[in-house]
Amino acid sequence: MESVISDDGIRNINLSLEEDKVAPEAKNSISTLMLVDDDSVNRIVLKGMLTKYGYNVLVADDGHKAVEMSKKYQPDLILMDVMMPVMDGYEAAELIKKDSPDTYTPIMFLTAITDEDALAKCVESGGDDFLSKPYSPVILKAKIEALLRMKELYREKQVQYEVLSFREEEAASDLDIAERILSKITKSEAFDVTNINYYLSPMEQLNGDIIIVSHKPDGGQLYMLGDFTGHGLGAAIGGLVVFDVFKTMAAKGFSVAQIISEINRKLREVLPTGRFLAAGFVELDAEHTIASVWNGGLPDIYFKNSQTGITHNYPSLHLPLGVVESHELDLMTETIRLAHGDQFILYSDGLIEGENKSGDFFGSERLEECIASENSSKNIFPSIMSKIVEFCQGQPQRDDLSILEIYCDPTKTSLKEDKIVTKSLLPASSWSLDFCVKEDVIKQAEIIPSLVQMVVDIQGLHYYQKSLYLIMTELFSNALEHGLLDLDSSLKVTPDGFEQYYKARKNAIDGLSAGSITFNLKHSPCTEGGKLSLRITHDGDGFDVESAQALMDIGSEETVDLHGRGIKLVKSLTERLEYEDFGKTVEVDYIWKEE
C-alpha cells in the first residue's frame, strides 16, 4: 500500500469517514472528482480532504471500475493511482480518453514512483499532470484547480467551435442559395446568343467577375465583362446592381455611353470606399458593321481582323467604374468598322496572372501568341483555354478568372430560342404628345429610349417596340446630325472615316450653342389596330432632301453605302414618309395591327 500521509496536517482528517461509491446527486456549479485508488485508507483520507474543499467525490478501487464509472457519471476530473489490481492506472487512463474523444476529462496521476520513464508513461497514457507521494494538500488543490480551469476553457472552446460550425454551415447554405439566385438572374438570357464563347471561374464560391450580353431594340448587341475589387458575396451583390442597370437600359435602347454613366452612378451610391469595377464594353450594330469599344480598368481588349489577321489592342483609357462621379468620367468610345468574322477578346486580370508551380505568371505575351498564332477563328478560344490549363498545372486560382470571345456574325446573334414577347396591347385610343428638346438636353441626355418607352407604355405596344425604336432613332439622328450639326455621312464610307465621323459628331454636340428639335406624336384608332403619326422638326439649316429621297427610292436588293440604309429601313416600316421645308420637317405614319 502506498502511503499518502504527509507532515502537512493530513493526520487531522477524520479517518472514520465512510466510503461512498454511489454517485452524488446532480450538482450545479460544484465540480465532481473521481478518486481511483486500491488503498482504502488513501481513498478515505483523500475523499475527506476533497469534500472539505467543496468537491463532489466519486471513488473506485481499481482501473476497470474507474472506466465504467467514467462512462456513467462523466466526472470533471480524475485522480488516478498507478499501481492497482485488475487494471492499472495507465490502461485505465488510455481507455477513458479513448471512450470520450470529444470530451476533455483531465487525469492527474497520484504516485510514489519517481522514475522518469514511469512518470513520462503517465503523460503518454493520457495523463494531464502527476503529483508524487507524499504530496502537499496545497499543491494538490492548486493542481486540481488548474486542471479544472483547463477543462472549463476546453468546454468554452467546444461551445465556440459548435457555434462556429453551425454558423459556417448556415453561411455555406446561404452562399449556396445566393449562388443559385445570382446564377438564375445573371444567366437567364445573358448567354443565349451563339456568337460568343465565354469562361467564368470564381476563386471562391461566388464570382467577383461578371459577363453580360444584351440585345438592343434595333437588333444590336451590348457586351460587358467586369471585374470587381474583392471576391465573394460583396462583389457578387455589386454584380446584381450592374446587371439590373445594364439589362434594363439596353432593352430600352440606350447607348453604351449612357449605360456606363448610369452603372457608374449606381456603384458610387452602393459601393464602399475603395471598391470599384474594372469593366470593358463592346457594342455591335445589328449588321455587325460598326463596333464601339470602351475600356475602363481591364487589361487590353484584343480585336482580331479576320481579313488581315492583324490583332489590335484597346488598352484601358478610362477609370474603373465607381471611382469618380459620372460627370468626371470620360464616356467617349472608340469606333471600329467591322467585317464578317472579326473577333473581340475581353478578359479579367485573373487570366494573365494565373501562376504555375514556379510562381511565373501566364502573362499577356502568351495570350497574344495564342490569338496571333491561330489562323482559324474557331480555334482561338479553345487555344487560350488549353494553354492556360497547361500552364497553371493544377495550381489554385489566386483571383476570379473570366474570358469573353465575341465573333462578329449577324447571322448568329439571334437568341438560341425565339423569345416569346408577351403582347399587352391596349384598345386603340386617341391621344397626342408634343414636346421640344433644346441644346442643353441634347448634350446631356438620350431622348429616343425614353420617348419610345413612353409610347410603348401608353398604348401597350411592347410587341412593336423594336420597329418604333428604329424609326424614331433614325429620324432623330438625321434631324440632329444633318439638320443641327451639318455632318457629312459620306465620311462613313471608309474605315478611317467612321472614327472621324463620330469624333466630329461628339465635338459638334459639345459645341452646340443653340438649336432645338420638336416632336409631335398623334395616335388614333384605325382598321385592325392603330396609327401613330410622328412629326419631327428642327430649327437648323436643313439638308438635301432630294439625296435623301433618292436613297429611299433605291430597291432593297441593290447595294447601298452604309450611310444611307437607315432612311430606306424607315420607309420599309412605315406607311408614309415625307420631308418638308428642306429637310427641316419629316413626317411618318406607322400602322400597328392587333394580330
Domain membership of residue 164 (yes or no) is: no
Q: Which has the higher per-residue pLDDT, 5 or 536? A: 536
Verify that 443 and 321 share a domain, yes or no.
Answer: no
Q: State the pLDDT at residue 101.
A: 80
CA gyration radius, the chain: 41
Q: Is 423 part of any domain?
A: no
Distance of alpha carbon 148 from alpha carbon 142, whole angstroms: 10
Give the pLDDT band (50/70/90) at residue 428. Answer: confident
Please report, for the domain that includes residue 344, its CATH number.
3.60.40.10
| Range in 81-90, 156-165, 189-198, 387-396 with the lowest mean pLDDT | 189-198
Task: Place 186 in a pLDDT band, splitting at 50, 70 and 90.
Answer: low
Do 397 and 484 share a domain, yes or no? no
Residues 200, 254 share a domain: yes
Residue 350 has pLDDT above 80, yes or no: yes
The C-alpha cell at 324 is 469618380
pLDDT in tens, 42-96: 889 999 999 999 999 999 999 999 999 999 999 999 999 988 888 999 999 999 9
Beta bridge pairs of residue 199 = 403
Q: Evaluate whether residue 417 is within a structural domain.
A: no
Residue 1 in any domain: the answer is no
For residues 330 and 159, give the distance between their C-alpha atoms in angstroms, rounded to a whole number. 55
Pairing verdict, β 301-304 and 290-296: unpaired
pLDDT band at 587 (very low <50, low <70, confident <90, very high): very high
* Per-residue pLDDT band at 554 (split at 50, 70, 90): very low
DSSP conformational letter for 489 = G
Q: Give how far Cα 119 sits from Cα of 62, 95, 139, Å.
A: 19, 18, 18
Q: For residue 595, what pLDDT is reported?
A: 64
Q: Are residues 242 and 200 in the same domain?
A: yes
Residue with cell 453604351: 256
Q: How many domains does the chain have?
A: 3
Residues 403 and 517 placed together within one structural domain of the fold = no
Q: What is the pLDDT of residues 211-229, one digit of tens each?
A: 999 888 888 899 999 999 8
Q: Supply the range of the domain harboring residue 123.
A: 10-159
Flag whether pLDDT at 8 surpasses 70: no
Record the cell numbers describing residue 313, joined without a space.
489592342
Please give the pLDDT value at position 6.
Answer: 42
One-letter amino acid at 522 equals: K
Q: From CA 397, how far away is CA 394, in angstroms rounded?
A: 9
For residues 450 and 479, membership in a common domain is answered with: yes
Residue 19 above 80 pLDDT? no
Can you give the CATH number for the domain in which 478 is found? Answer: 3.30.565.10
DSSP state at residue 395: P
One domain for residues 143 and 254 = no
Q: Which amino acid, 433?
A: L
Which pLDDT score is estimated for 20?
A: 44
* Average pLDDT of the residues of the chain: 83
Output DSSP code: residue 22.
Answer: S
One-letter amino acid at 172 equals A
* Shared domain check, 331 and 448: no
What's the CA gap between 132 and 140, in Å, rounded? 10
Q: How far apart are CA 90 and CA 94, in angstroms?
A: 6
| CATH number where 139 lies | 3.40.50.2300
Residue 470 to residue 485: CA distance in whole angstroms:
21
Is the pLDDT at 2 greater than 60? The verdict is no
Q: How far apart are CA 465 and CA 449, in angstroms?
A: 10
Alpha-carbon span 417 to 240, nearest angstrom:
24
Judge whether 309 and 379 are in contact, CB under 8 Å.
Answer: no
Q: For cell 461551445, name the residue.
A: 159
Angstrom distance (rounded) from CA 146 to CA 128 = 11
Residue 185, pLDDT score: 64
Give a yes or no: residue 370 inside a domain. Answer: yes
Q: Residue 110: its pLDDT value, please?
A: 87
For residue 303, the model assigns a pLDDT of 95
Calculate mean pLDDT across residues 247-269: 92
Looking at the structure, tell me whether residues 332 and 439 fall in a common domain. Answer: no
Please determine, for residue 276, whether its predicted confidence score (pLDDT) is greater than 70: yes
| pLDDT for position 106 | 93
Domain endpoint, select from 382, 412, 442: 412
Q: Are residues 304 and 335 in the same domain?
A: yes
Count of CA atoms in the C-beta half-sphere (13 A) of 239: 29
User: Are 43 and 18 contacting, i.e. CB atoms less than 8 angstroms apart?
Assistant: no
Helix-strand-coil split of the chain, %, nearest 5: 45, 20, 35
Find out whether 557 and 469 touch, Cβ atoms under 8 Å: no
Between 524 and 203, the more confident residue is: 524
pLDDT given at position 437: 92
- Please state the rounded mean pLDDT for residues 156-180: 80
Domain presence at residue 46:
yes
Query: Is the confidence at residue 460, as pLDDT, over 90?
Result: no
pTM of the model: 0.68
pLDDT tens, position by position, 310-324: 899 999 999 999 999
The verdict on residue 15 lying in a domain is: yes
Residue 117 lies in a domain: yes
**Do residues 115 and 62 share a domain?**
yes
User: Residue 427 has what pLDDT?
Assistant: 84
What's the rounded Cα separation, in Å, for the pair 72 and 70? 5
In terms of pLDDT, which residue wins out, 29 or 441? 441
Buried b (16+ CB within 10 A) or exposed e, 127-147: bbbbbebebebeebeebbeeb
Phi/psi at 532 (nearest 5 deg)? -110, 115
Percent residues over pLDDT 90 in the chain: 38
Lowest-pLDDT choice from 17-26, 101-110, 470-479, 525-534: 17-26
pLDDT(192) > 80 = no
Indicate whether 375 and 404 sit together in one domain: yes
Judge whether 367 and 384 are in contact, CB under 8 Å. yes
